[in-house]
A and B are shown apart, each in its own frame.
Chain A
Amino acid sequence: MLKIENLHVEVEGKPILRGLDLELPSGQVHAIMGPNGSGKSTLAHVIAGKPGYTATKGSISFDGRDLLALEPEARAGEGVFLAFQYPLEIPGVNNVYMLKAALNGIRKYRGQPEMDAVQFLSLVKGKAKIVGLKESLLNRPVNQGFSGGEKKRNEVFQMCVLEPRLAVLDETDSGLDIDALRIVAEGVNQLRDPSRSFLVVTHYQRLLDYIVPDVVHVLAQGRIVKSGPRELALELEQRGYDWLLPAAVV
């Protein structure tokens, strides 16, 4: 489904990813772990198409399509979703209104008709229940005045409504207490499906107790330095990352 080959990415002229290879098959959950500054968030952002993140070499293909050639909204149309580490506040635009614009934007991209208001409302209410998002937050401006946990929950809620085929979760666990973490993970697990893949970027293996990955990758100095089964995350927690880093760093 997602195939990244020899990806080099610069941000403000500074190389961050340096020859990253990754293959994420359909229906799998892969975790990306790694020390601070290793390029985890950069990877998440470049998949979603953030301006200023320039791929200088390599490719990202999604079901055979060249993602790097697409605008961010077209990537969403193709089925890519990024759950932000720091979700933005959008004053004056309420959550439901934004989601409706998003869902219809995606449907339009796919040549589908817009969803009618009644259908849409029952969809969002159902999904809000699943992720435990208070209904009162639905009609509030996007993320404005939300607590840290509510913002993250809102990200997962949006993901549930938009039903992407590839969901990239950028440190969705940061700032969540254990109950919130469980609810967020439940939202993700409900979406697990043979046709859907997840790339879970995380700093701590705690999240992986709830969202059990098929593969754990270690990202260090801009490339994947080790991949392994779920147990690798536990090992990383005990031993840290140092033993995986190349002795000499250029």
Chain B
Amino acid sequence: MTLLDTLAREFRVETGTPLAPLRERAFANARRRGLPTVRDEDWKYTDVTALTLAASAATPVPAAGPPPLPLAADDGPRLVFVDGRYNPALSIANTDAGVTVRPLSAVLAEEPTALTTLFECGAADDAPIFDALNTAFVEDGAVIEVAADVAVARPLTVLFVHGGRDHNRHAAPLISVRVGARSHFTLVEVHYGRDTAANLTNALTDIDAAAASRVTHYRLTAEAARATHIGNVRLRAARDAALTSCSFVFGGRLVRIAVQAALAEPGAHVALNGLFVAAAGQHIDHQTFLDHQAAHTVSEELYKGLADGDGRGVFRGKVLVRAGAQKIRAQQASHNLLLSPAAEIDTKPELEIYADDVACAHGATVGQIDEAAVFYLQSRGIPAAEARALLTFGFAQGVIETVEHPPLRAWLTAALAGRADVPLPTSVDEA
């Protein structure tokens, strides 16, 4: 049974609720259009036509899952979801002043109209299919509001743990973040799968950064080796807002992250960083779209990819400079390292420029470990295998050092070193 057929069986709406027509329209759109194929430019390297929920149970269980979570030392505020559902017992609700956090399930029950605008996006005829499916199926997630003029000191973590009970579950979480003018806020979004989980996640994160705000979004995908993860991130930066969104992907059989950023008003600054490691049997696809809608906007992008075994990586970075968006600066770099002869990474920068006074630069590389550098390190007494690991680590370091969240940075370093000795937070371990 195809994924859409399976989902059609799952599809339920409570008729009479204000969001029901939007969900119905979103799902009808998705069914009418069907899943994208590799003929679709956005899906050229990632085939989702064969995705199912049912068959995944038959896939053999791999030996290793992702390393434990990056939050051990972090007792800051967090929302925890187990198999897609908000878990108040595992969550820590001590949010800082000026921050309002509600589980989306609560908003759906109490104040559904607050979500109308978001649902209308997913129900639009031209909405990307997985955005539409998210709108059709979303049950939980987080609704985060930050008032104007607050510098929120502690990052907020939103953690999705899969495989707690139901290992083949479909979940469509939604995180909505509205940061008020001149406020500072950091969100850490983690999707973590246990060893045997073969879940399908179709997550959507929508972040709106108001004028002169500073918003940082770290998104970690550390799904189990059989899991499928579709992650969509929509960003909007208003006048003089500085918005950074980083995607780290370390686990999952098939992972596709699409980040779409609108630099909507002059002075907006968006930085997109990413690091992925496609191990044997993994397929990891990043699609980024930077939309310079206004003059005097700046975008910076640094993505690094590693592929080992027969791992497969994809990066497509589109930059659109709209007519009239003069004096913009856009810088994109995609650097990739193949660690085995069977590994493959496809990288594709795309610049579409309709203004004439702009500074755009892009660079893309796919290479292998420099054997001369291996010899250099060996000649200093470092064994060959360790020298390669050091060079691999050094390659990724450029992205890891941008992370200003020590537990996450430590986790990334450990995950890259292939070590699993970062302790689990006990409260989540008990889930």
- Given A91-B394, A92-B395, A92-B397, decide whether A101 and B382 contact each other with a Cβ distance below 8 A: yes
Docked Cα-Cα span, A103 to B403, in Å, equals 29
A76's nearest neighbour on chain B, judged by CB, is B381
Which residues between 371 and 401 of chain B lie within 8 Å of chain A, taking CB atoms? 371-373, 375-384, 386-387, 390-391, 393-398
Kindly state the separation between the CA atoms of A109 and B380 in the bound complex, as whole angstroms: 12
A93 and B391 in contact (CB under 8 A), knowing A73-B381, A73-B383, A101-B382? yes
Report if A90 contacts B (CB, 8 A).
yes
Q: Cβ of A210 < 8 Å from any Cβ of B?
A: no
Contacts of A73 in B (CB 8 A): 378-379, 381-384, 387
Contact mask for chain A residues 60-91; partner B; CB cutoff 8 A; 1 contact, 0 none: 00000000000111011100011010011011
When the two chains form their complex, are residues A158 and B376 in contact, meaning their CB atoms are under 8 A apart? no
Asked if A158 and B380 sit within 8 Å, CB to CB, the answer is yes
Q: Are B397 and A93 in contact (CB under 8 A)?
A: yes
Which among A84, A93, A141, A162 has the highest number of chain B CB atoms within 10 Å? Answer: A93
Contact B396 A49 (CB under 8 A): no
Provide the residues of chain B in CB contact with A106, threshold 8 Å.
Answer: 381
| Contact status A51-B375, CB under 8 Å | yes
Instruction: Point out the residues of chain A lying under 8 angstroms from B372, CB to CB.
Output: 88
Whether A90 contacts B381 by the Cβ 8 Å rule is no
Q: Is the CB of B378 within 8 A of A72?
A: yes
B375 neighbours in A (Cβ, 8 Å): 48-51, 72
Residue of B with least CB distance to A143: B376
Which chain B residues border A92 with CB–CB below 8 Å? 393-398
Closest beta carbon of chain A to B65's beta carbon, Å:
27
Report how far A234 CA is from B375 CA in the complex, Å: 35
A71 to B384, CA, bound (A): 9
Report the minimal beta-carbon distance from A156 to chain B, rounded to whole angstroms: 13
Residue of A nearest to B398 (CB): A92
The answer for the CA separation of A53 and B381 in the assembled complex, in Å, is 19
The interface bits of chain B over 352-381 (1 if a CB of A lies within 8 angstroms of the residue's CB, else 0) are: 000000000000000000111101111111
Q: Assuming the A-B contacts A91-B394, A91-B398, are A109 and B378 also in contact, with contact meaning beta carbons closer than 8 angstroms in the complex? A: no
> Residue A49 contacts which of B379, B383, B395 (CB distance < 8 angstroms)?
B379
Structural contact, A90 and B376, CB atoms closer than 8 A: yes
Instruction: Say yes or no: is A98 at the interface (Cβ < 8 Å to chain B).
Output: yes
Against A, the Cβ 8 Å flags (1 = close, 0 = not) of B402-426 are: 0000000000000000000000000
List of B residues within 8 angstroms of A90 by Cβ = 373, 376-377, 390-391, 394
Beta-carbon contacts of A168-182 to B below 8 Å, as 1s and 0s? 000000000000000
Interface presence of A102 (CB below 8 A):
yes
Cβ contacts under 8 Å, A158 to chain B: 380
User: What B residues does A91 contact at CB under 8 A?
Assistant: 394-395, 397-398
Bound-state CA distance A101–B381 (Å) is 8
Contact between A162 and B380 (Cβ–Cβ < 8 Å)? Answer: yes
Main secondary structure of the interface of B (DSSP, over half): helix
Residue of A nearest to B375 (CB): A50
Q: Does A19 touch B at the CB level, under 8 Å?
A: no
State in angstroms the CA–CA spacing of A30 and B92 once bound together.
69
Shortest Cβ distance from A158 into B: residue: B380
Cβ–Cβ < 8 Å partners of A162 in chain B: 380-381
Contact of B373 with A88 in the complex, beta carbons under 8 Å:
yes
Question: CA of A105 to CA of B245 in the docked complex: distance in angstroms?
Answer: 38
Inter-chain CA distance A32–B148, complex, in Å, is 72
A101 touches B379 (CB 8 A): no
B382 to chain A, nearest CB (A): 5
State which residues 16-49 of A face B: CB under 8 Å. Answer: 48-49
C-alpha spacing A82/B372, complex, angstroms: 14
Collect the chain A residues with CB atoms within 8 Å of residue B378's CB. Answer: 49, 71-73, 76
A170 CA to B380 CA, complexed, in Å: 15
Q: Which residues of A contact B386 (CB under 8 A)?
A: 101, 105
Q: Name which of A81, A101, A109 has the most chain B CB atoms within 10 A of its CB.
A: A101
Contacts of B370 in A (CB 8 A): 88
Give the distance in Å from the alpha carbon of A171 to the alpha carbon of B243 in the complex: 49
- For A49, what are the chain B residues with a Cβ–Cβ distance below 8 Å? 375, 378-379
Give the contacting residue for A82; candidates B371, B379, B382, B394; CB below 8 A: B379
Q: Cβ of A77: which chain B residues have Cβ within 8 Å of it?
A: 381
Select A93's contact among B371, B379, B381, B393, beta carbons within 8 Å: B393
> Across the two chains, which residue of chain A brings its CB closest to B372?
A88
Q: Which listed residue (A71, A84, A103, A141) contacts B376, Cβ 8 A?
A: A84
In A132-183, the 8 Å CB interface with B consists of 141, 158, 162
A88/B376 in contact, CB under 8 A: yes
Taking the nearest CB of chain A, how far is it from the CB of B93, in angstroms? Answer: 39
CA A90 – CA B391 in complex, angstroms?
A: 7
- Min CB gap B376→A, angstroms: 4
Question: Is the Cβ of B380 less than 8 Å from the Cβ of A93?
Answer: no
CB distance from A9 to the nearest CB of B (A): 16
How many Å from the CB of A120 to the closest CB on chain B? 14
Q: In the complex, A71→B382 CA distance in Å?
A: 11
Q: Contacts A51-B371, A73-B382, A88-B372 hold; do A102 and B377 have CB atoms under 8 A apart?
A: yes
- Chain B contacts of A84 at CB under 8 A? 376, 379
CA distance A237 to B390 in the complex (A): 43
Task: Please state if B390 and A98 are interface contacts (CB–CB under 8 Å).
Answer: yes
Q: Is the CB of A105 within 8 A of B376?
A: no
How far is A133 from B259 in the complex, measured between Cα atoms in Å?
44
| Nearest 7 interchain pairs by C-beta | A92-B394, A92-B397, A76-B381, A102-B380, A72-B378, A106-B381, A93-B394
25 cross-chain CB contacts under 8 A: A48-B375, A48-B379, A49-B378, A51-B371, A73-B379, A73-B387, A76-B379, A77-B381, A81-B379, A81-B380, A84-B376, A84-B379, A88-B370, A90-B377, A90-B394, A91-B397, A92-B398, A93-B390, A98-B382, A99-B380, A102-B377, A102-B380, A102-B382, A103-B381, A109-B381
Extra inter-chain contacts (16) besides given A73-B387, A101-B382, A162-B380, CB under 8 Å: A49-B379, A76-B381, A77-B381, A81-B380, A84-B376, A88-B372, A90-B376, A90-B391, A91-B398, A92-B393, A101-B377, A101-B386, A102-B381, A103-B381, A105-B386, A141-B394
